[in-house]
Amino acid sequence: PGSARVGREGLEAAARNPRISPVLVPGAGHQVRRSDPQAFYRAVDTWLAEVLPVD
């Protein structure tokens, strides 16, 4: 638990793709939603607010 499976290089590559919003949740395992639900939903809510803004 707590290791980035894609590694730093994978996160950097993802960050260069405008369609991907990588988020690293320290200490979370493979199933972030279960490991740290608050961090997971915070990341998802932030992303949704960016792609589906409420006017």
pTM: 0.66
Distance CA 10, CA 32 (A): 17
Render pLDDT for 23-46 as a digit per residue (tens, 0 to 9). 888 888 778 899 999 999 999 999
Length of the chain: 55
pLDDT tens sequence across 8-25 = 788 788 888 888 888 888
Kindly report the backbone phi and psi dihedral angles of residue 22, in degrees, each rounded to the nearest multiple of 5, phi listed first: -70, 145
Tell me the domain boundaries of the chain. 7-51
Residue of higher predicted confidence among 54 and 5: 54
* 28 CB neighbour count, 10 Å cutoff: 20
